[in-house]
Amino acid sequence: MRIAVIGAGYWGPNLIRNLYETRACSEIICCDLDSRKLQKIKDRYPGIQTESQYKKILDRKDVDAVVIATPVSTHFPLGKEILESGKHVFIEKPMTASPEEASELLRLSEKVKRVLMVGHTFEYSPPVIKIKELIDKGELGKIYYISASRVNLGLHQKDVSVIWDLAPHDFSTLFFWLKEQPARVSAIGKACVQKKIPDVAFINLEFPSGCIAHVQVSWLAPSKLRRTAIVGSKKMLVYDDTENIEKVKIYDKGVNYVDPESFGQYQLSYRTGDVVSPRLETYEPLFMEMKHFIECCRENKKPRTDGQSGLRVVRTLDAAERSMRNNSVVVEIPA
Amino acid sequence: MRIAVIGAGYWGPNLIRNLYETRACSEIICCDLDSRKLQKIKDRYPGIQTESQYKKILDRKDVDAVVIATPVSTHFPLGKEILESGKHVFIEKPMTASPEEASELLRLSEKVKRVLMVGHTFEYSPPVIKIKELIDKGELGKIYYISASRVNLGLHQKDVSVIWDLAPHDFSTLFFWLKEQPARVSAIGKACVQKKIPDVAFINLEFPSGCIAHVQVSWLAPSKLRRTAIVGSKKMLVYDDTENIEKVKIYDKGVNYVDPESFGQYQLSYRTGDVVSPRLETYEPLFMEMKHFIECCRENKKPRTDGQSGLRVVRTLDAAERSMRNNSVVVEIPA
Amino acid sequence: MRIAVIGAGYWGPNLIRNLYETRACSEIICCDLDSRKLQKIKDRYPGIQTESQYKKILDRKDVDAVVIATPVSTHFPLGKEILESGKHVFIEKPMTASPEEASELLRLSEKVKRVLMVGHTFEYSPPVIKIKELIDKGELGKIYYISASRVNLGLHQKDVSVIWDLAPHDFSTLFFWLKEQPARVSAIGKACVQKKIPDVAFINLEFPSGCIAHVQVSWLAPSKLRRTAIVGSKKMLVYDDTENIEKVKIYDKGVNYVDPESFGQYQLSYRTGDVVSPRLETYEPLFMEMKHFIECCRENKKPRTDGQSGLRVVRTLDAAERSMRNNSVVVEIPA
Amino acid sequence: MRIAVIGAGYWGPNLIRNLYETRACSEIICCDLDSRKLQKIKDRYPGIQTESQYKKILDRKDVDAVVIATPVSTHFPLGKEILESGKHVFIEKPMTASPEEASELLRLSEKVKRVLMVGHTFEYSPPVIKIKELIDKGELGKIYYISASRVNLGLHQKDVSVIWDLAPHDFSTLFFWLKEQPARVSAIGKACVQKKIPDVAFINLEFPSGCIAHVQVSWLAPSKLRRTAIVGSKKMLVYDDTENIEKVKIYDKGVNYVDPESFGQYQLSYRTGDVVSPRLETYEPLFMEMKHFIECCRENKKPRTDGQSGLRVVRTLDAAERSMRNNSVVVEIPA
């Protein structure tokens, strides 16, 4: 496997480090317009090739796959060229800047029969996978609602709102757990620091199953929150990613109907049992993600976070952004 | 002062205990239809009179004021009769079951020149008052947004949604701090346990000043949250009412523009200073509330949480409920 | 049952409230030299008799049992007189001011065949009982060591050191769990605020089984700690009494030997599994304690926290105090 | 500057990384008997030289200084040879395996006029330095006592007890803050997992000033504690190194005497004010430590953590170990 990485800015070096550690690439080529960034990579990994013009990579027949870690607006044109050159492609989240672009890329990947994978990293993280298992086994019962917060001070983006920057993490995670995408979305937001670039947003989601969800995201908050509460008919769960150890806690809690003894109203009784924090694996999600991408390329199989997954996240981001820009009007998402 | 309390259910006994402890009433009369509840009060406070028919209290010339702690639907008819009988009245939150009722009660209280006070208890609590002082002094700068959570397992109400039960606390607190009521409200909710009675809701508020707020309330949640984050242009603050000691924390945090040195884009720099948890008074809010009611009755003055305050909370509850019942459509509130 | 309570100061009213709530006493008599304290009790519980001279109570044939909640120095003379008058006696912790007094009281209670119970309240608390069950079932394996902290700001005593005031809680709890008393004790302490009355102490205990324990107690500390860590050969546990919900956490953690594959040193491997916080009962320990005392009196049976239990705590307090006063010299406690 | 690092095991690579990042060494030579460890260093830092025989380094005139990161028992013989060869030396904590060795090394360094620095890394960490400033400015008043816990599950050492492994951090920090070494030490410990190698210890210290301290260290504990409470006559402080943000909290708390109004006993009143968590610098302590070592070598000046500092820590470790091995007998340390 020969893999190129385009973009050596903030995130690219993390992808390169993990690609390197898989020991599965005979060669890694790093591509960026900024020669200082390339030099940094060289200093750190003397064995890695560098290249300033990505077109050259497209021409190389011996390069099997390309990883894109550039600004969102470039995801679509780059992805398109890469797929058309017959290479597999991994694109950082969000997959594209619009649902139309996402659909086109998905169609193209199917046509050229190449892997299109999107960097929904959380779907490879131990707590998210553990929760997926619990939900799939029915441990929580029917999911009533989910409430998620992802807020902290920094890093303001200059090209996209906080919705496009932070919400992909929560959206991809929610859709992964629930196996559905929302039917209706509304959002309120505010551009506090930079004009016209909202840095706080409160997003409400309704799913076809009846489950509802709330996601709040912000670059401007007093303390870091990475907390998701899931309320099911049997049990409840809190996933707090700021905790070092007990990231997932399962609460054996619920409400039961108590039949009225004689006449009179029914009663509700509250059940409270043990709290269990399950042991979690300790691997790095990004490593698993890169390993999975390489496997999918080798076997030309559909990745867990495929183009379809990327599309539904982009559709929901687009709907939330439109609601926020349009007085919180409810936006329907076609199934 | 002779004061009657109507309603000896869940909340009434707390009001009675605090009225008693003010040592300012020559007599307290407790009124309830349920004789067992009256007996419990008798057991606890042998000096308190009891009465099963509230009409008799209305007839008594020597009773100066009445405190109402009955279900919401009775607040308006009871309040009306009490004011018409020439007595001062204190009504538990929410003041009435509709904005129309609230307006009428407010008009009536002005006409008969009697005190109409509403039980927005949090406006008498030390952390809420401390935060009010900080905001008024400009310590936080301009308030950008507020995010509040009030969730726990229990106590499901059978006559009103979770919005009417829990959101009055947050609404009254927010309006007290911001000195304004929202212009636009939207909400999503779900009836998980009881049919047609939503037990979780996510409410978005927009204020005329541009400040936005999110309030989430639930009777069905894995762990208790009573957390409000306030983000201002100068500082940020977290008020966590589940903390025993450090309920309020002020974060000297913010974002500054850095002028570009030569050509090129501006930069943002993040400022992080000390975190301060100010000392808070330790009195019981309910005691202060009852004391304030007695003072207002004696001096016939307008209470801090007057009918106007009750009206704006009821208007916002009504708007949020309508949005929730009507597919999250945005509801405008007239100024 | 007719029960008298001597001492209506800080703690007495709590005992009276719980005695009252057992509904098991036909009469409760409260005795104190201070008539204002008696009046307060009267105000709160009009049905309770009061008495300023305890001698009169001793003379009353119809009084079955006496509860002592007076300063430590009076525990022995009062307890002695009560037992000699043929009544059962409950004494607040610590049982007496010296091991000699404790032994004599124990002998006397056996001679007169009356109940002698000591107020080691924690042995009636849900988390302590849950931990006892876990240890007895062998869930934690062999107990290696225990480390306990009980510190806060306040309430300085004027007659005894912090060891005699706070350590009885931890000592009684430890001995209850471990079913043994320490063989050797040493302590260091310091009188920071009041001359000659140490307000901080660090106590080391060695048990015959080989288990060791550390107990730190202080009236002068920045924040409240009520934390006990228990390390066993199979599992470990933290009991944090300042937590509202998850007071007990069981950590499935340990160290295993790994046999060397060929030559070479053994390896240690660290095992980390789930963390479980078991559901706890929610009753008030003091209520259970009073209920148990009444049962023991009725059936003339040995209480769970009997004179023997009181004696071993007093012996250990005495040993710790002597070590602290004597340059931390190790003090042996006879079995 | 040419600097050699002897020992590429667990800790050595951290020192190399930070030496490298100072950009102040023209050359770094890494020395270890294990060629695989050297290869790892080579892979990571292609520019670094490696060497399997340390004697060769001693012979090199162009090497200015040597950093020792080998097992404790080798610190003295290596340190001695290095100083005798006319080079500066940095030795990881604890400086030597006995006070005699420490004294001899100290004398030698003075004789040959070369830098002898010991790796008391915490004295270069932002929270420890901030606390030092607060104490020196008198903000806490007179220090009454300090209680420190440093416990976690793992890593058991095979050659030294937990006292020699973990307590150097707390001892060096305490002596740095208090500017004194203890006069008397006692300790209790237990070898739970490995025979004869205690993995838990409770250490009591008495200082000439009257301040007392307790330090507990363990490799076998349910959860990680890195907590130090400092109680002064004016304020109190908690330093919790497991916190990400608020590592230091200053409590404006204390006890005041209240003069009796007329006859009668004095009263104590408890003062509780704000809690402040000061902003801390964010640099890496090890980087500052390496930078300081290089500076001291260049200017041949005495380091902040000099041989004297190393000696007093070793003396106290030795005293604590002897007390623990000898039934907790109190061990005096000569001034």
Give me the helices (H) in chain C, please.
12-22, 35-44, 54-59, 75-84, 99-112, 126-136, 162-178, 285-299, 307-325
Q: Which residue has the higher pLDDT, C11 or B256?
A: C11
Size of interface A-C (CB pairs under 8 A): 26
Length of chain A, in residues: 335
pLDDT at B102: 98
Give the pLDDT band (50/70/90) at residue B263: low
Test the B interface: residue of C244, C279, C282 with most B CBs within 10 Å: C244
Chain C residue nearest residue B245, CA to CA: C223
Whether C16 has a pLDDT exceeding 90, the answer reads yes
CB C231, CB C146: distance < 8 Å = yes
Q: Residue A24 class from Cβ within 10 Å (0-12 exposed, 13-18 middle, 19+ buried)?
A: middle
C145 touches chain D (CB under 8 A): yes
C2-120+285-301: CATH topology is Rossmann fold (3.40.50)
Whether C73 has a pLDDT exceeding 70, the answer reads yes
Q: Give CA separation, C138 vs C68, C236, C253, in Å.
A: 37, 12, 15
* Cα C88 to Cα C113: distance, rounded to the nearest angstrom: 9
Whether C260 has a pLDDT exceeding 80, the answer reads no
* Cα D331 to Cα D335: distance, rounded to the nearest angstrom: 13
pLDDT at D147: 98
Chain C residue nearest residue B246, CA to CA: C223
Q: Average pLDDT over chain C, rounded to whole? A: 95
Whether B187 has a pLDDT exceeding 90, the answer reads yes
Strand (E) or helix (H) holding D230: strand D225-232
b (16+ CB within 10 A) / e for D26-35 = eebbbbbeee
Whether A265 has a pLDDT exceeding 70, the answer reads no
A144 touches chain B (CB under 8 A): yes
Which one of B252, B275, B279 has the shortest CB-CB distance to D272?
A: B279
Interface contact flag, B274 D279, Cβ < 8 Å: yes
D195 touches chain B (CB under 8 A): no
Interface contact flag, A275 C277, Cβ < 8 Å: yes
pLDDT at C126: 97
Residue A179 CB contacts under 8 Å (≥ 6 apart), including other chains = none
What is the DSSP secondary structure assignment for residue B110, as one 8-state letter? H
pLDDT at A203: 98
pLDDT at B108: 98
Length of chain D, in residues: 335
How close B225 comes to chain C (CA, Å)? 13
pLDDT, tens digit, 9 for 90 and up, residues B92-122: 999 999 999 999 999 999 999 999 999 999 9
Look at A130-134, C320-324, D133-137, D264-268 and tell me which has the smallest mean pLDDT: D264-268
**pLDDT < 70 regions, chain D:** 260-265
Contacts of A252 in chain C (CB under 8 A): 279
Which one of C221, C231, C265 has the shortest CB-CB distance to D231?
A: C221
The β-bridge partners of C216 are: C149, C202
Interface contact flag, D276 B278, Cβ < 8 Å: no
Interface contact flag, D274 B274, Cβ < 8 Å: no
Mean pLDDT of B52-76: 96
pLDDT at A335: 82
C141 touches chain A (CB under 8 A): no
Where does B2-121+285-303 sit in CATH, by number? 3.40.50.720
D222 touches chain A (CB under 8 A): no
Cis peptide bond prior to B94, omega within 30° of 0: yes
Whether B229 has a pLDDT exceeding 80, the answer reads yes
Contacts of B223 in chain C (CB under 8 A): 245
Q: Of chain C residues 223-262, which have a CB less than 8 A from chain D? A: 223, 229, 231, 233, 236-238, 249, 251, 253, 255
CA angle C11, C16, C22 (to 5 degrees): 130
Among A228, A170, A167, A155, smallest CA distance to A201 is for: A167
Whether B67 has a pLDDT exceeding 90, the answer reads yes
CB A38, CB A12: distance < 8 Å = no
Chain D residue nearest residue A246, CA to CA: D223
Say which CATH superfamily domain A2-120+285-303 falls into. Answer: NAD(P)-binding Rossmann-like Domain (3.40.50.720)
The β-bridge partners of D147 are: D214, D229
The β-bridge partners of D149 are: D216, D227
* Cα B116 to Cα B95: distance, rounded to the nearest angstrom: 10
How close D283 comes to chain B (CA, Å)? 15
Q: What tokens appear for C107 in the block?
A: 């002998």
Interface contact flag, B223 C242, Cβ < 8 Å: no
Interface contact flag, C242 B245, Cβ < 8 Å: no
pLDDT, tens digit, 9 for 90 and up, residues A9-28: 989 999 999 999 898 999 99
Q: 3-class SS at D201? A: strand
CA angle A177, A178, A180 (to 5 degrees): 130
Q: Give CA separation, B109 vs B99, C19, C110, D39, in Å.
A: 15, 48, 73, 87
pLDDT at C43: 82
Test the D interface: residue of A244, A246, A277, A282 with most D CBs within 10 Å: A244
Mean pLDDT of C176-190: 98
CATH 3.30.360.10 fits domain C123-284+315-332 = yes
Alpha carbon A70 to its chain's center = 16
CB B186, CB B204: distance < 8 Å = yes
Q: Which residue has the higher pLDDT, A269 or B178?
A: B178
Interface contact flag, A222 B265, Cβ < 8 Å: no
Give the pLDDT band (50/70/90) at residue A266: confident
Residue A204 backbone class (left: φ over 0; alpha: ψ -120 to 50; beta: rest): beta
Q: Quick one: three-class SS letters along chain A? A: CEEEEECCCCCHHHHHHHHHHCCCCCEEEEECCCHHHHHHHHHHCCCCEEECCHHHHHHCCCCCEEEECCCHHHHHHHHHHHHHCCCEEEEECCCCCCHHHHHHHHHHHHHHCCCEEEECHHHHCHHHHHHHHHHHCCCCCCEEEEEEEEECCCCCCCCCCHHHHHHHHHHHHHHHHHCCCCCEEEEEEECCCCCCCCCEEEEEEECCCCCEEEEEEECCCCCCEEEEEEEECCCEEEEECCCCCCCEEEEEEEEEEECCCCCCCCEEEEEEEEEEECCCCCCCHHHHHHHHHHHHHHHCCCCCCEHHHHHHHHHHHHHHHHHHHCCCCCEECCC
Contacts of C244 in chain B (CB under 8 A): 224, 242
Interface contact flag, A233 B192, Cβ < 8 Å: yes
Give me the helices (H) in B85-234, please.
99-112, 126-136, 162-178
pLDDT at B29: 96
Q: Could you tell me what percent of chain C has a pLDDT over 90?
A: 89
Q: Give CA separation, B127 vs B149, B228, B243, C309, in Å.
A: 16, 11, 11, 45
Give partners of C (≥3 CB pairs < 8 A): A, B, D
Size of interface A-D (CB pairs under 8 A): 5
DSSP assignment of B237-306 equals: EEEETT-SS--EEEEEEEEEEE--SSSS--EEEEEEEEEEE-------HHHHHHHHHHHHHHHT---TTB
* Cα C332 to Cα D317: distance, rounded to the nearest angstrom: 26
Interface contact flag, B188 A206, Cβ < 8 Å: yes
Helix count (H) and strand count (E) of chain B?
9, 15
Contacts of A192 in chain B (CB under 8 A): 144-145, 231, 233
Q: 3-class SS at C154? A: coil
Among D245, B216, D251, B139, smallest CA distance to A222 is for: D245
* Cα C88 to Cα C75: distance, rounded to the nearest angstrom: 14
Contacts of B278 in chain D (CB under 8 A): 274
Test the B interface: residue of A151, A152, A153 with most B CBs within 10 Å: A153
Give partners of A (≥3 CB pairs < 8 A): B, C, D
Chain D residue nearest residue C268, CA to CA: D156
pLDDT, tens digit, 9 for 90 and up, residues C207-219: 999 999 999 999 9
Segments of chain A assigned to CATH 3.30.360.10:
123-283+315-332
Segments of chain C assigned to CATH 3.40.50.720:
2-120+285-301
Test the D interface: residue of C220, C236, C240, C331 with most D CBs within 10 Å: C220
Q: 3-class SS at B180? A: coil
Residue C258 CB contacts under 8 Å (≥ 6 apart), including other chains = C266, C267, C268, C269
What top-level class would CATH report for the domain A123-283+315-332?
Answer: alpha beta
Contacts of A246 in chain C (CB under 8 A): 275
pLDDT at A261: 66
Segments of chain A assigned to CATH 3.40.50.720:
2-120+285-303
Among A95, A141, A147, smallest CA distance to A117 is for: A95
Test the C interface: residue of B40, B153, B244 with most C CBs within 10 Å: B244
Which one of C274, C277, C278 has the shortest CB-CB distance to A278?
A: C274
Which one of A252, A272, A277 has the shortest CB-CB distance to C274?
A: A277
B47 touches chain C (CB under 8 A): no
* Cα C311 to Cα C306: distance, rounded to the nearest angstrom: 9
Interface contact flag, A275 C276, Cβ < 8 Å: yes
Which one of C151, C238, C268 has the shortest CB-CB distance to D223?
A: C238
Interface contact flag, C192 D145, Cβ < 8 Å: yes
pLDDT, tens digit, 9 for 90 and up, residues C125-169: 999 999 999 999 999 999 999 999 999 998 899 999 999 999 999
Give the pLDDT band (50/70/90) at residue A43: confident
How close C207 comes to chain D (CA, Å)? 12
pLDDT at D263: 64
pLDDT, tens digit, 9 for 90 and up, residues C200-209: 999 999 999 9
Which one of A154, A204, A237 has the shortest CB-CB distance to B328?
A: A204
Interface contact flag, D278 B279, Cβ < 8 Å: no
Amino acid letter at C96? T
* Cα B217 to Cα B195: distance, rounded to the nearest angstrom: 18
pLDDT at A111: 97
Give partners of B (≥3 CB pairs < 8 A): A, C, D
A184 touches chain B (CB under 8 A): yes
Interface contact flag, D328 C204, Cβ < 8 Å: yes
Which one of D46, D244, D245 has the shortest CB-CB distance to A46?
A: D46
The complex's ipTM works out to 0.95
DSSP assignment of D5-54 equals: EE--SSSHHHHHHHHHHHT--SEEEEE-S-HHHHHHHHHH-TT-EEES-H
pLDDT, tens digit, 9 for 90 and up, residues C157-166: 999 999 999 9
pLDDT at D326: 96
Q: Give CA separation, C111 vs A282, C89, C114, C116, in Å.
A: 64, 14, 8, 11
